[in-house]
Amino acid sequence: MRVLVAMSGGVDSAVAAALLAEQGHDVVGFHMKLHDGAASFAGRCCGDADALDARAVASAIGIPFYVADLRDAFRSAVMDDFAETFASGRTPNPCVRCNGMLKFRVLLSRAIAFGADRLATGHYARIIDGRLAAASDADKDQSYFLYQVPAAALARTVFPLGALRKQQVRAHAARLKLSVADKPDSQELCFVPDDDHAGFVRRHLADTARALGGPGDIVGDDGTVLGRHDGVHAFTIGQRRGLGVALGRPAWVRAIDPVARRVIVTTDPTRLGALGLEANRAVFAMPPSPGRVRVRVRHRGDLAHAHLELVEGDRFRVAFDDPVRAVAPGQAAVLYDGETVLGGGTITRALTDLAA
């Protein structure tokens, strides 16, 4: 079987490619150049050095290797959306968009053009009976980021690491003498190497001549003005550090009002709890029935027990059994039935009153 493997330059995709080659498949390595990062940074991926690492692994295991320049598509689909979503007072999820709009669409089309039977990635996820499912290693599971992948794409996808734990992957890399065996994992956004999200938004919108909201007030629960901010793009729900106010005790962002340019903070962590949420842009593996589900509202977040209600159009609503902390509009709400992903959508608002 011919398999095109997306090789980021990290250990996971390297092991995925090497295991498939070891199993006797006709493997082709493919690296996506997504941005203009000239170097790799600790905890990031997809810089020029990563392309060289991926090429070295491909050479070591004896497979052909290609680089696809997807910078324009990545900028349009991911970076523009990231900046505009933050500027609107919401919290984007660029990894969901990258998977849903690039890796499993554009890259799959390249795989088909190369005559490949399957596309493979180093994601920690599984496909069970044609449905996306969580990985065996719950600590590394990435199914949350993959809910937008179309069923037709899943039918042509394999996740070689889905049943492995991270230490097993590292062990395979060492056994196979791969040069990236000890390379640190990528944990931060590849296109924000300094981890300054607000600075990226400001620069990116200036480069694209898009508007950025101006300064506004930071207020407490009772409306008292506590300070000023330079723009709502620097904040997200649940944020604790970098608030720009000193209250003598911990404080968190409870809400963001982009129209009034207000950031509402609270010193009472119980006020961060939401009773439910509404979401749009729903993507379902198959039309679900209203009823009991589990919901994840952030990567590595706990799965919350909830009741699902379908709303007209592409929207849904869930009511949590117990309050869930820091539900952020713009993030993904992903629905599970056991280990299987039912689908998900983009959070439009957190509900503090289920009758609202």
Looking at the structure, do residues 284 and 219 belong to the same domain, yes or no?
A: no
Q: Do 138 and 56 belong together in one domain?
A: yes
* pLDDT tens-digit profile, the chain (356 residues): 999 999 999 999 999 999 999 999 999 999 999 987 644 454 456 667 899 999 999 999 999 999 999 999 999 999 999 999 999 999 999 999 999 988 898 888 989 998 999 999 999 999 999 999 999 999 999 999 999 998 889 999 999 999 999 999 999 999 999 999 999 987 778 888 778 899 999 898 887 666 677 899 999 999 999 999 999 999 999 999 999 898 889 999 999 999 999 999 999 999 999 999 999 999 998 888 899 999 999 998 899 999 999 998 899 999 999 999 999 999 999 999 999 999 999 999 999 877 66
On whether both 70 and 114 belong to a single domain, the answer is yes
Distance between CA atoms of residues 117 and 130, nearest Å: 16
Name beta bridge partners: 338.
none
In a domain, 206, yes or no: no
Reduced to 3 states (helix: H, G, I; strand: E, B; else coil), residue 4 is strand
Helices (H) and strands (E) in the chain, counts: 9, 17
pTM of the entire structure? Answer: 0.92
The H or E element spanning position 317 is strand 315-325
Cα 242 from Cα 129, distance rounded (Å): 45
Domain match, 260 and 119 both: no
Select which of 45, 46, 95, 98 is catalytic: 98
Domain span holding position 171: 2-175
**What CATH number does residue 222 fall under?**
2.30.30.280
Beta-bridge mates of residue 308: 291, 318
| Count of the separate structural domains present in the chain | 3
DSSP 271-290: GGEEEEEEEEEEEESSPPPS
Q: Where are the alpha helices (DSSP H) in 123-264?
A: 151-154, 166-175, 197-207
Q: Please list, in sequence order, all residues whose beta carbon lies within 8 angstroms of the beta carbon of residue 356, skipping any fewer than 6 positions away.
A: none
Give the pLDDT confidence score for residue 169 in this predicted structure.
Answer: 97
Strands 315-325 and 304-311: antiparallel
Q: Are residues 106 and 234 in the same domain?
A: no
User: 231 by DSSP, 3-state: which?
Assistant: coil
Q: Are 334 and 344 in contact (CB under 8 A)?
A: yes
Q: How far apart are CA 306 and CA 292, in angstroms?
A: 6
Residue 58 and residue 153 in one domain: yes
Quick one: tokens of 39? 């170097």
Q: CA 106, 107, 111, 113 torsion: positive or negative?
A: positive
Pair 242, 286 in one domain: no
The answer to whether 148 and 182 are in contact (CB under 8 A) is no
Does one domain contain both 255 and 137? Answer: no
Respond yes or no: is residue 45 known to be catalytic.
Answer: no
Residue count of the chain, please give it. Answer: 356
Spot the catalytic one: 45, 46, 95, 190: 190
Co-location of 138 and 233 in the same domain: no
Q: In angstroms, what CA-CA distances link 182 with 173, 178, 185, 241, 343?
A: 8, 9, 9, 31, 34
CA atoms within 13 A on the CB side of 269: 6
Strands 252-257 and 262-266: antiparallel
Query: By C-alpha distance, which of 258, 254, 261 is closest to 220?
Result: 254
Do 169 and 288 belong to one domain?
no
Pair 56, 147 in one domain: yes
263 within a domain of the structure (yes/no)? yes
Alpha carbon distance 347, 218 (integer Å)? 23
The reply to whether 46 belongs to the active site is: no
Q: Are strands 118-120 and 2-6 parallel, antiparallel or unpaired?
A: parallel
CATH number, position 297: 2.40.30.10
Are residues 223 and 292 both part of a single domain?
Answer: no
201 inside domain = no
> Cα–Cα distances in Å, from 318 out to 85, 134, 245, 323, 353?
23, 21, 34, 12, 12
Domain end, chosen from 239, 267, 295, is at: 267
Q: What pLDDT sits at residue 37? A: 61
Neighbours of 238 (CB within 10 A): 16
